[in-house]
């Protein structure tokens, strides 16, 4: 395998003719650029390819449009660029109005049509994968939404592969695919360096952890479903990976408030010491509206909030054997967003923090809720939940280092790019 500085992760399509597969005679791959280069004039014989991946999450739907360039027929393409756009709320909010959910997909497809040149539409695959938001819905409502998306995809000018619309299972959402992307440079040299980084992701409906165990005891003591075998570069690696449904940041709010599965929502008010005393408003998640409030005549603050949140986490999240070690973890999504909102890191650069830093900032936010209320009345609850999830849930030490990031190598950090690779693999890619 010939390696280049700018081309380190490679996928190759079979050279097999097929009218049903527009990629049958195309070599498609990706290499992460460090950094991704600006637009440059392309050689006359270069070719450009695109892939479109929809991430249908619990709080929003995101579209990732990837551009690959093959500068020479004998060379593999590299990932040249990514366009990312999102809309809110997520598809699950339209559980009783699937047609309106379909309209959000139509709107994002208009973005894709403006991004992908028209002559590339017919050979550009479009795929949607739903996560926790739809897994939390009754099956018939989730299926109605997926059928609507299939109909919208059928109307589009893009290439729609088989099984292009689906709900990801917990293992896939546990982000072996995102782990691929984050660890690309380390993976190729793992045999000599034995170094990779772990992944933590915190969505609205679920939370995920993925890392490559260094200890066999971690593999032997973990539930069997938490260990995934993945094949890369003719090597099989065993990843520890799991997605906790219902333990995402927004779902955890409902659990902390005692609102999960509650009835009488039209008159019940759900209170918490994690909310400002004078706070009271209607809050909507997954298409359901809840009346939430602080405790007007009660106490509020970090200690009481931590006690409330701990009931949601303690004993429910598995603690891997080696998690108390000194490994570095990348933390994405709401980990990053709440760290920015609370002033823990700079939003434009991200940053490296320790678990204890989340705890310290959570205390500051909870004990000065009035100050932070304009940012979000839920900031105390969210920061306390993150602290509790890391410490009481996964079992991280206070000094565990977390690299908070929105992008890695100028690519939006999610499973979407890895899933695009994987879907290309299903289109006869080695």
pLDDT at 267 over 60: yes
**170 vs 11, residue with greater confidence:** 170
Q: What is the pLDDT of residues 14-45, one digit of tens each?
A: 223 333 444 433 333 333 333 333 444 455 56
Query: For the segment 96-151, what is each residue's pLDDT rounded down to a tens digit?
Result: 999 999 999 999 999 999 999 999 999 999 999 988 778 878 889 999 999 999 99
- The whole-model pTM stands at 0.69
- Classify strands 198-202 and 235-245 as parallel, antiparallel or unpaired: unpaired
Tell the CATH topology of 169-414: Nucleotidyltransferase; domain 5 (3.30.420)
- Mean pLDDT for 208-225 is 90
Annotated catalytic residues are 173
Q: What are phi and psi of 61, to 5 degrees?
A: -115, 130
Closest CA to 23 of 51, 55, 65: 51
Does pLDDT of 172 surpass 60?
A: no
Q: Which two tokens stand for residue 124?
A: 């550009």
What would the mean pLDDT of 287-298 be, rounded to a whole number? 84
More reliable by pLDDT, 81 or 46: 81
With contact defined as beta carbons under 8 Å apart, do 197 and 330 qualify?
A: yes
Residue 154 pLDDT more than 90? yes
Mean pLDDT of all residues in 219-233: 83
Evaluate if residue 378 carries a pLDDT over 90: yes
Q: What is the pLDDT of residue 34?
A: 31
Q: Percent of the chain having pLDDT more than 90?
A: 44
Q: What percent of the chain has pLDDT over 70?
A: 75
Average pLDDT over residues 352-365: 96
Residue 387 has pLDDT above 90, yes or no: yes
In this prediction, residue 390 carries a pLDDT of 96
CATH code: domain 1-168 is 3.30.420.40
Residues in the chain: 430
Q: Which residue's structure tokens are 């709440």? A: 338
Report the pLDDT value the prediction gives residue 197, as an integer from 0 to 100. 81
| Alpha carbon separation from 91 to 143, 207, 235 (Å, rounded) | 12, 18, 38
| Binding site listing for ATP | 204-208
Mean of pLDDT over the chain: 79
Give residue 394's pLDDT.
Answer: 94
Residue with the two structure tokens 């040149």: 117
Cα gap 419→422, rounded to integer Å: 5
Mean pLDDT value of segment 172-195:
55
The yes-or-no verdict on residue 294 having pLDDT over 60 is yes
Q: How far apart are CA 362 and CA 121, in angstroms?
A: 47
- Going from N- to C-terminal start, the domains of the chain cover 1-168, 169-414
């Amino acid at each position: 395998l010939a390696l280049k500085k700018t081309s380190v992760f490679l996928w190759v399509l079979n050279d097999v003719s097929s009218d049903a597969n527009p990629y049958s005679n195309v070599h498609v791959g990706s290499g992460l650029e460090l950094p991704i280069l600006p637009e440059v004039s392309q050689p006359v014989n270069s070719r450009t390819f695109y892939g479109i991946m929809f991430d249908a999450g619990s709080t929003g739907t995101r579209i990732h449009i990837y551009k690959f360039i093959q500068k020479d027929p004998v060379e593999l393409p590299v990932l040249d660029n990514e366009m990312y756009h999102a809309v809110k709320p997520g598809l699950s909010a339209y559980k009783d109005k699937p047609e309106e959910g379909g309209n959000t997909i139509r709107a994002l497809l208009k973005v894709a049509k403006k991004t992908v040149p028209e002559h590339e539409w017919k050979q550009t695959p479009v795929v949607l994968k739903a996560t926790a938001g739809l897994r939390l819905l009754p099956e018939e409502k989730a299926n109605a939404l997926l059928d609507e998306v299939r109909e919208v995809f059928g109307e589009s000018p893009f290439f729609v592969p088989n099984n292009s619309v689906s709900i990801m299972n917990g293992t896939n959402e546990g982000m072996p695919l995102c782990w691929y992307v984050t660890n690309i440079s380390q993976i190729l040299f793992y045999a000599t360096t034995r170094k990779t980084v772990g992944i933590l992701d915190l969505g609205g409906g679920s939370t995920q952890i993925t890392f490559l165990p260094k200890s066999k005891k971690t593999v032997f003591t973990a539930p069997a479903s938490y260990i995934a075998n993945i094949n890369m570069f003719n090597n099989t690696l065993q990843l520890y990976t799991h997605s906790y449904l219902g333990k995402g940041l927004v779902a955890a709010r409902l659990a902390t408030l005692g609102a999960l599965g509650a009835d009488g929502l039209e008159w019940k008010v759900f209170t918490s010491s994690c909310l400002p005393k004078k706070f009271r408003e209607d809050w909507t998640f997954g298409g359901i509206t809840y009346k939430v409030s602080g405790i007007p005549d009660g106490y509020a603050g970090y200690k009481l909030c931590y006690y409330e949140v701990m009931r949601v986490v303690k004993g429910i999240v598995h603690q891997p054997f080696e998690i108390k070690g000194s490994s570095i973890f990348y933390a994405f999504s709401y980990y990053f967003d709440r760290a920015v909102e609370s002033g823990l890191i700079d939003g434009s650069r991200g940053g490296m923090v320790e678990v204890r830093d989340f705890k310290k900032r959570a205390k500051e936010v909870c004990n000065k809720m009035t100050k932070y209320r304009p940012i979000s009345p839920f900031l105390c609850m969210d920061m306390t939940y993150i602290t509790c999830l890391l410490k009481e849930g996964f079992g991280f030490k206070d000094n565990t280092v977390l690299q908070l990031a929105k992008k890695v190598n100028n690519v939006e950090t999610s499973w979407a790019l890895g899933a695009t690779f994987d879907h290309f693999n299903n289109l006869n890619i080695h």
